[in-house]
Each structure stands twice: as structure tokens, then as C-alpha cells.
């Protein structure tokens, strides 16, 4: 199954380290950072789980719920969490999905046979409160994710939704943004009363 941006994220009911959840119900009015791992008790995954836990306040500030997935059992996950907390000096409080039968990993196309027949690659799905997939990233098993980028793109998506803007290359919160070409200059006068810089008719930047 190939999932594309704008698709509704498939719902599922599954056991996690925090009990059984139904994904859409669990998500509620929040955003999701749904991310998969090849296996428990592996080095790169341990650092990523720890980093997610360390950033819990940053995710909460953005109304984002992290949800991990590994193709192991709840029992194994709970043992692994002890190691994550101990080695990464943190407290992991978000649920980790138990997907030992690979059903969710296959539903979300997280199994890439060129990497492994039984372990999920490092997939990322950012899902909005309408349950729509807004971003996908796929990393190889040997490369840890860039969490600065994950937070940056969540900021960009949420700003774009709130202010009807696009963000340029390497944008960071506080930088100028772009007025999309779909908004005419006449309409832009009402939406952006602060004005804008017209570099080209199709490239207008402004502050928000």
C-alpha cells in the first residue's frame, strides 16, 4: 500500500506500552509524529527513542503526540524503555506500538525488502488533526533521524495552515515567509496588511 500526502492515515487498533489504542481516537484533535524502528535493543533506535522523550515539551507545545512503532512485543518494548531511559538520561512517556506480526508496518509500507523482510525502516508520518498525512520521510536503518528538521517541518506546516503562507528553503521560525501564487495581490492586501516584498510577481515575501 502506497500512502501519499493528503491521504487519510489508515486507522488501526493495537496494543501499545500504554494499553490498547485506536489510532484516530487516540489522536483526537492533536497532530501525530508516527515513527517506526527496525527493532528494540538496537543502538540507533535507542538514541531516537531517547531524543523523542527528551523533546516531549517541544512536541506538547506544538500539540503533537509521538507514537513509536517497532516490530516487537509490548513485553520487549517495556524492557527496552528501561534501557532507553537509563542510557539517554530521560523518561519515555509516549506509547510504542507492538507490531510483531508486521500488520501495521505493511499497512504503512514500512517494510522495504531491500533493507529487511521483517524489520521496519525508519519511516516518519506527520498526521494532522483531520487524520491527513502531511509529511512522509524514510531513512535507511543505519541513519538516525534529524529531530531539528522534524520540529521545523511541523512548525512550517502549522504556520502555513494558520497564516496561508509557504516557507522558503531552510526556513526557521521568525524568518520571512512566502505568499503563495494562488493568492492575488488584491487578496493579499487583506490577508497581509503588513505588506510584502515583491522580488518577482511569483515570489513575494512577508513577515508574519
Nearest to 66 by CA among 49, 88, 41, 83: 49
Taking residue 123's Cβ as centre, other Cβ atoms within 10 Å add up to 22
From residue 152, give the alpha-carbon distance in Å to each of 89, 159, 184. Answer: 24, 11, 27
139 is catalytic: no
Nearest to 173 by CA among 183, 185, 165: 165
Q: Is 104 exposed, middle or buried (0-12, 13-18, 19+ CB in 10 A)?
A: buried
The residue annotated as part of the active site, out of 9, 27, 32, 45, is 45
Question: Is 163 in contact with 155 (CB distance < 8 Å)?
Answer: no
What backbone phi and psi angles, to 5 degrees, belong to 51? Answer: -65, -40
Catalytic residue list: 45
Amino acid at each position: 500500500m502506497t500512502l501519499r500526502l493528503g491521504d487519510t492515515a489508515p486507522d488501526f487498533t493495537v496494543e501499545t506500552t500504554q494499553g490498547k489504542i485506536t489510532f484516530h481516537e487516540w489522536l483526537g484533535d492533536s497532530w501525530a509524529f508516527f515513527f517506526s524502528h527496525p527493532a528494540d535493543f538496537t543502538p540507533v533506535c535507542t538514541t531516537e527513542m531517547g531524543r523523542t522523550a527528551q523533546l516531549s515539551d517541544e512536541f506538547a507545545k506544538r500539540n503533537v503526540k509521538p507514537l513509536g512503532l517497532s516490530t516487537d512485543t509490548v513485553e520487549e518494548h517495556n524492557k527496552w524503555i528501561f534501557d532507553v531511559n537509563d542510557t539517554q538520561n530521560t523518561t519515555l512517556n509516549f506509547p510504542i506500538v507492538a507490531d510483531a506480526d508486521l500488520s501495521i508496518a505493511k499497512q504503512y509500507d514500512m517494510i522495504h525488502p531491500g533493507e529487511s523482510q521483517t524489520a521496519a525502516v525508519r519511516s516518519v508520518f506527520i498526521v494532522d488533526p483531520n487524520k491527513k498525512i502531511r509529511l512522509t520521510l524514510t531513512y535507511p536503518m543505519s541513519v538516525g533521524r534529524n529531530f531539528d528538521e522534524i520540529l521545523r517541518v511541523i512548525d512550517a506546516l502549522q504556520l502555513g495552515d494558520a497564516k496561508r503562507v509557504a516557507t522558503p528553503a531552510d526556513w526557521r521560525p521568525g524568518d520571512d515567509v512566502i505568499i503563495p501564487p494562488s493568492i492575488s495581490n488584491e487578496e493579499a492586501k487583506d490577508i497581509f496588511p503588513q505588506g510584502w516584498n515583491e522580488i518577482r510577481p511569483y515570489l513575494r515575501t512577508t513577515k508574519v
